[in-house]
Amino acid sequence: MASILRRTSLTKLLFMEQLFTVESFITLLMLVLLQAVLGFDNLLYISLESKKAPADKQSFVRKMGVGLAIILRIVLLFVLMSLIQFFQDPFISLHGNNIIEFEFNVHSIIVLIGGIFIIYTAIKEIWHMMLSKEHEISDQKNKKASTNKIIFWIVIMNLVFSFDSILSAMALTSDMEYIPQLILMSIAIIMGGILMIVLADKVSDFLQKNRMYEVLGLFILFIVGIMLLSEGGHLAHLHLFTNAITPMSKTTFYFVIIVLVIVDVVQGRYQKNLLAEKRHQEILAEKEEKTSSK
């Protein structure tokens, strides 16, 4: 009995030493930062998807969607830590030809499906922007009944985006015991979720006030889908005509986003200059017309 109590007290002491240290605090900050950096694409999706809901329910949709996703992320964390090999081991493969080769696992399938869905969503929304006002009015009527559906898709896509962040977080805390590791990662997920709720509201408000950037956001979302497809193909060891599918790096992703933003800003300024010049020419023409009439 004494030995059991001694072992229990030693376990508690080890737990306290690992959890309440400067290193654990720094690790927690890194985990929250990781959640924020890897969650940018998810944040953009939440902001754009929530705009489908009625205006008075958009904030509720974002909060409820991310709130439910936080709970399911923690559940996913438990599952990944317990059954990581199940997600990583291939369950179907094809080799020995020069057309297509692959080794699909659960992780790669989830990422590939997420990429396809993101691309489909971006293309569908871009197409809707090009429809007539009559279609927009009918779409608006249909959106009012889709709040639960929007929350569902926000939760699902949040889980798809969370795979990489959770796996990266597990790598950062791999030298810790199971319980301290689980607690730190759960705290980071909750803090990252709260940050995402706040930032999603800010991003949505910005897009609402600056409608011209919606197209930019949708094209960035399209690139996010391509990034997920490339990552899923890499996880599946996919080869097309003997060429391996390589994942798009985060550096490339953010570089493309920066270029898109710069192009959009320059084009916006140039368009304003053209409109100002056109207006100036119209004013001059009106003055000349008045002068000639006199």
Tens-place pLDDT, residues 52-106: 788 788 888 888 888 888 888 888 888 777 777 677 788 888 888 888 898 998 8
**At residue 257, does pLDDT exceed 80?**
yes
Q: How far is CA 182 from CA 14, 58, 140, 159, 232, in A?
A: 15, 32, 43, 18, 26
Tokens of 92: 């179907």
Alpha-carbon 102 to chain mean position: 26
The single residue listed with the structure tokens 């969503």 is 121
Residue 156 buriedness (CB in 10 A; 0-12 / 13-18 / 19+): middle
pLDDT-above-70 percentage for the chain: 79
Question: How do residues 258-274 score in pLDDT, each as one tens digit?
Answer: 888 888 888 878 888 88
Of 135 and 118, the structure prediction assigns the larger pLDDT to: 118
Q: How far is CA 86 from CA 79, 81, 107, 160, 264, in A?
A: 10, 10, 9, 16, 44
* pLDDT value at residue 145: 45
pTM of the model: 0.69
Strands, E assignment, 76-231? 92-94, 100-104
**At residue 30, does pLDDT exceed 70?**
yes
Q: How confident is the model at residue 231 (pLDDT cuts 50, 70, 90)?
A: confident
CA distance 223 to 232: 14
Q: Tell me the three state secondary structure of residue 175.
A: coil
